[in-house]
Structure formats: structure tokens, C-alpha cells
A = this chain, B = another copy of it.
């Protein structure tokens, strides 16, 4: 009986590789666990997980032999790590391999929002650029002050790129870090007050929920641009929508939202927002690297070797 279970919306090549390597059983989501027989569930030692549906104590208790949940993605907020640790279940994720792609999207979102590039694309493609005349002037992006909220591995990649755009780099993190002259702020509101652009690169989960609060958004101010490539949960989305609708904030570039993919339709009406469909790590190269790291963690566990990227 198979000892590895793949749960979530894996792509065809991902499924194929998991099946080839582990003879996996595939489930579309954790809700399908109940469809497995008790014997089949008892045989499971490893879960390859993908997606944003919660995987917690209830699901783990249906798999009494479970030893590892290997998550596809750096963000593992769908998985209850405390519940896993209590049960002696290891959790792994796929850090680092996606840093470049996510940082690329963050920088592009900032440039596109400041220079209104989606709107400019529509202008040029309208077929009546000649009649409409010159696209309205927008704002210079290079040379501004950038604030990184959460200076982890992805935050650093973003900061390194923005420094090449002649930006002063400011950041908030749980503690001051060793940086090339970047300015530390011990409070997110103080960070937002100091900068023109706030780029959110926090981890998800309960500790960071709503950290981009009404106060942070207000401190960023009417010339401020917010970029979020982390998780929708870190932003008080109601406060963000209100600030954008009322001009309290100049604009936003967002790859992540609450309730993806059924995002709040108020975003559609906002001309100052650049929207992406959570594609931060969505390249062929990076998804293949993430899938391989997930499989390598499972293989390491099953063979008794050390895990590559353990979370707990």
C-alpha cells in the first residue's frame, strides 16, 4: 500500500513526477481524506501538500502514521505547524528557490503602478493613440525611498534590486539585521512614515495577520504606493480598499489578496491598483525547482536521512 499521499491542485507534470517517484495516491484537497479507507490512511507516512486549504490537527489525526508534511511553497500558513510538532510530524517547505521570481514580480508591480503601465498599455493598444494624444505624465519611481516590511530572504532580494534603482532602503524586521547601510525601523508605522513605497515581504499566518493596518496605510500616505507579494492576510484589506477609494493612498501593486481567487470586486474598479493573480513564483523553472525540493524532502524522510528544509 502506498505510503505517500499528494494533496492539492498539483499540475500534470508535478503529479507525474510524484507518482513516478513515490507511487502516490492523489487527492484534490484535504476534504477528500475521508474518502480513503481506514487501512489506506493508516499506511500513509508522508504527505506532499499544495494549496491554501487548512491542513491541521483534524486532518493529521486521520493519518495516524504520518511523519512528514512536505509543503509546496515557501509559505506554509495553511499547515498547522504547532499541531504537527505536537504529533511528532515534521513540516518542510520550499524556500529560496522562488526568491528571485517573487522579487521580480515585486519590483515590476512597483514600476507598473508608479508608471501606470497597464493603463498605458491600454492607451497604446486602443487603436486611437493618435486621437487621444500623449499618455498623461505619471511619477518617477527610481530614486525614491523604499521600505521593506519583513527582511527575510525574499525581502533581501527585493531590496537588492531596488537599491540598483538608486533607492534608499529602509526596513522593518523582528530585529535589526546586518545590511549594507539600510535603515532599520522597529515599528511598521514608523517605516511607512519614512518611505514612498512599502513592499510587504512578511510570512503569513496569525503572527502577521493585519500587520499592514489602517495606521500603516495612513502613514504611507497620499503619495505612497503599497506592494504586496506575501499573503493577503497581512493587510487589513478593508482599510486598504477604503484608502485607495478615497485617495488616502496613491496606489497599490498586489499579487495576493484575501479570499483568492475570489477577490473583492472593489479592486476591479480601482484605476490606481495593479493586480496580479498570485503568480509570484509562477515560472516553469521555479515551479520545477519547488516540486523537486518537495520530493527531495519526502525522499529524505522515507530513507531516514536529514530533511533539506525543515520548518519545525
Taking beta carbons and an 8 Å cutoff, which residues of A are in contact with B?
9, 11, 100-101, 103-105, 107-108, 111-112, 115, 117-118, 120-121, 123-125, 127, 129-130, 133-135, 137-143, 160-161, 163-166, 260-263, 265, 267-268, 274-279, 282-287
Contact = CB atoms under 8 A, between A and B. Distances in A.
B120 A279 contact: yes
Contacts of A123: 277
A255 to B, nearest CB: 9
A16 to B, nearest CB: 15
Contact of A100 (B11, B124, B140): B140
Given A134-B277, A137-B287, 17 more contacts: A9-B134, A11-B137, A100-B143, A101-B141, A105-B111, A108-B111, A111-B111, A118-B118, A129-B261, A129-B262, A134-B282, A135-B277, A135-B278, A137-B283, A138-B279, A138-B284, A140-B286
B166 A164 contact: no
B283 A115 contact: yes
Given A137-B287, A261-B130, A285-B140, A100 B277 contact: no
A284 B262 CA distance: 36
Contact of A101 (B142, B267, B268, B277): B142
A277 B120 contact: yes
Contacts of A121: 118, 274-276
9 contacts: A100-B165, A108-B112, A111-B111, A124-B277, A125-B275, A130-B261, A137-B287, A139-B283, A161-B164
A4 B302 CA distance: 82
A33 B104 CA distance: 49
Given A108-B111, A135-B279, A166 B118 contact: no
B283 A125 contact: no
B120 A276 contact: yes
A99 to B, nearest CB: 9
In order of increasing CB-CB distance, the 10 nearest A-B pairs are A164-B164, A100-B142, A124-B277, A129-B261, A108-B111, A140-B285, A140-B283, A130-B261, A135-B277, A124-B275
Contacts of A118: 117-118, 121
